[in-house]
Amino acid sequence: MERLYITDVCMRDGLQNQCAQVSTEAKLALAQHLVAAGVASVEATSFVSPRAVPQMADAADVVLGLQQRLPTLRTSVLVPNLKGLRRALQAGCREVAVVLSATEEMNRRNINMSLAQAREESALVLREARARGIKTRAYIAVAFDCPFEGATPLDRVKVLAAEMYAAGADEVVIADTIGSAFPAEVRRRMTELATVVPLDRLSIHLHDTRGTGLPNALAALQMGVDQFDSSVAGLGGCPFAAHAGAAGNICT
């Protein structure tokens, strides 16, 4: 393997839980620093309800600012549904991501949908985006363990990953949302997932709750994964998993 591909998710995952409002200008300055450090891909924001996530209320302004200042930076944005996709398209986004949790309760807490509804909505978003020539990513959240339902069945993760790939995801991101994975399980799950999604379309999103984030990344790397999410300073974490002690992402 000659090259790794890293997407820094700090602007979205890292900032979404911050109590103090971060200005649009500060977000754009952060992106410029990341690019200066060698980062070529970021997840910049999310087109969600400003009431639910006030930190992302300036999503359209962030996208416009990045297009003007850093036009060659690969920039993706999170969209929870078709409404979010339409807002992202209006803002001129060229790459979008959906998040499908692998358990019933996590979907209800995160996007107020059942698992069945989330599967259908995610597939619709992916197909619509692809029809418009937009690149796509699909997260499978709580792909190892769920803070509400415990261990996530591997067979279910495989089915969901295959569905998202079939719906048009250019990249399927396997997320250890609460940072509970360990290297042997990372190897096992990524090996199995590579039977339903081509290995070069698989990415991994790791958190460092138990201090195993980097060993888990190494385990994925050793079995051929070359696409990783990370966050500057290790910031981030799902607000709906906080009660499980979930920590931030692995540090860029």
**Active site members:** 238
Contact 35, 73 (CB under 8 A): yes
CA dihedral for 11, 106, 127, 87, sign (positive or negative): negative
Q: What distance, in Å, lies between the first and last C-alpha atoms of the chain?
A: 19
Place of tokens 């991994």: 204
180/139 Cα distance (integer angstroms): 17
Phi-psi region of 146 (alpha: psi -120 to 50; beta: other; left: phi over 0): beta
The DSSP output letter for 239 is G
Q: Mapped to the 3 state alphabet, what secondary structure does 5-58 carry?
A: EEEECHHHHHCCCCCCCCCHHHHHHHHHHHHHCCCCEEEEEECCCCCCCHHHCC
| Partners of residue 136 on adjacent β-strands | 96
